[in-house]
């Protein structure tokens, strides 16, 4: 099952914490964050992950560790700090849905607008994304809007990049700065499948439409069955560290490999700070033009 809630922030040893950086999977070792050259493929097998250049050269290989790593996506650590925050760290508001059909998700798109700049700056890190992940929860493919400083840069401005987070490693495109009011369409597609013996490889792409340098190609021996719409936050001291108003995730479109679309999507919404009014609400569960309302 995918991650659906918060884990308690865990104190980390100073020697480890000093080497950690923030990502959409929580904290990861800085050495485990990899920029993927344009046109390269991030290929996951049962034993490891490769980055393969467009000419076929293997640029990178890392084995997938047995069990859960000390940091990263699997345990979903939410902070490398011990101090209490006014808002929780991690998935603050989300909607998720698992595809229980036999045909894989082949197209998943969502539209939203870059929000106003938050009124306060406290070193907060904010992420907005739609994403898909396998039932094992070991990875997630996601086109991500970021505000704040993460392991791939940033600051007091918005930027976009695609991520493929697998185990305790993160693979990303180079971030591109965007301005409040910019219209975004986060899109993930299944570009093909290949079965050899009894192993099927699923080939995916994640991108922001109209921003070709945000495209990342990823292949996996696991089907990405779970869909997410998320506001994820770190180091937010008060609601003034978030934008004002709301964000509508609109035009939500899911298509299966067989060409069919769900008539409706039975989203599950989870809100971890509803007392402050931060909520994700279903406006339309349509599988071809759905919408969710994120209120700050």
Provide the pLDDT for residue 200. 95
Provide the pLDDT for residue 122. 96
Provide the pLDDT for residue 66. 59
For the question of whether the overall pTM of this predicted structure is more than 0.85, the answer is yes
Strand 279-284 relative to strand 183-196, pairing: unpaired
What lies within 8 Å, CB to CB, of 84 at 6+ separation is none
Q: What does the DSSP 8-state code read for residue 259?
A: S
Q: In terms of residues, how long is the chain? A: 296
The mean pLDDT of the chain is 88
CA angle, 280 as apex, 275 and 284 as ends, to 5°? 145
Domain ranges, ordered by start, for the chain: 14-295
What is the arithmetic mean of pLDDT over 289-294?
99
What is the arithmetic mean of pLDDT over 7-32?
67
Of 128-132, 167-171, 216-220, 286-290, minimum mean pLDDT range: 167-171
Residue 83 β-bridge partners: none
Provide the pLDDT for residue 44. 87
Phi, psi torsion values for 62, nearest 5 degrees: -140, 130
What is the arithmetic mean of pLDDT over 128-135?
97
Spell 38-53 as b/e; 16+ CB within 10 A means b: eebbbbbeeebbbbbe
What is the spatial distance between Cα 172 and Cα 167, in angstroms, rounded to a whole number?
14
CA nearest to 144, candidates 51, 237, 64, 206: 206
Task: Give pLDDT tens digits for 66-119.
Answer: 544 443 333 333 333 323 335 788 999 999 999 999 999 999 999 999 999 999
What is the arithmetic mean of pLDDT over 256-275?
94
The DSSP line for 38-51 is: TT-EEEE-SSEEEE
CA nearest to 255, candidates 96, 103, 98: 103
Whether pLDDT at 243 is above 70: yes
Provide the pLDDT for residue 47. 83
What is the arithmetic mean of pLDDT over 172-180?
98
Phi, psi torsion values for 31, nearest 5 degrees: -70, -10
Residue 16: strand, helix, or coil: helix
What is the spatial distance between Cα 127 and Cα 52, in angstroms, rounded to a whole number?
28
Q: What does the DSSP 8-state code read for residue 14?
A: H
Provide the pLDDT for residue 266. 98
How crowded is residue 92: how many other Cβ atoms within 10 Å of its Cβ?
A: 27
Provide the pLDDT for residue 85. 35
């Amino acid at each position: 099952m995918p991650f659906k809630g918060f884990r308690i922030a865990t104190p980390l040893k100073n020697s480890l914490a000093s080497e950690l950086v923030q990502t959409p999977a929580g904290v990861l070792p800085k050495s485990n964050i990899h920029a993927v050259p344009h046109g390269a493929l991030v290929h996951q097998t049962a034993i490891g992950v490769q980055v393969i250049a467009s000419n076929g050269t293997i640029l990178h290989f890392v084995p997938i560790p047995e069990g859960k790593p000390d940091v990263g996506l699997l345990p979903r650590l939410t902070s490398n700090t011990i101090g209490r925050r006014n808002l929780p760290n991690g998935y603050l508001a989300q909607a998720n849905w698992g595809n229980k059909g036999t045909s894989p998700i082949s197209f998943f798109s969502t539209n939203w607008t870059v929000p106003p700049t938050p009124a306060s700056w406290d070193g907060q890190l904010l992420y907005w994304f739609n994403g898909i992940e396998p039932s094992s929860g070991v990875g997630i493919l996601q086109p991500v809007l970021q505000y704040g400083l993460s392991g791939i840069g940033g600051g007091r401005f918005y930027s976009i990049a695609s991520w493929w987070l697998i185990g305790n490693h993160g693979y990303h495109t180079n971030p591109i700065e965007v301005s409040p009011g910019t219209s975004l369409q986060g899109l993930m597609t299944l570009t093909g499948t290949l079965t050899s013996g009894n192993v099927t490889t699923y080939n995916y792409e994640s991108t922001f439409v109209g921003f070709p340098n945000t495209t990342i190609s990823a292949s996996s021996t696991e089907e990405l069955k779970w869909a997410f719409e998320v506001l994820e936050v770190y180091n937010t001291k008060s609601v003034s560290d978030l934008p004002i108003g709301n964000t509508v995730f609109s035009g939500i479109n899911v298509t299966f490999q067989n060409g069919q679309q769900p008539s409706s999507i039975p989203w599950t919404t989870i809100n971890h700070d509803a007392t402050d009014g931060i909520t994700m609400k279903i406006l339309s569960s349509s599988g071809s033009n759905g919408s969710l309302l994120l209120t700050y």
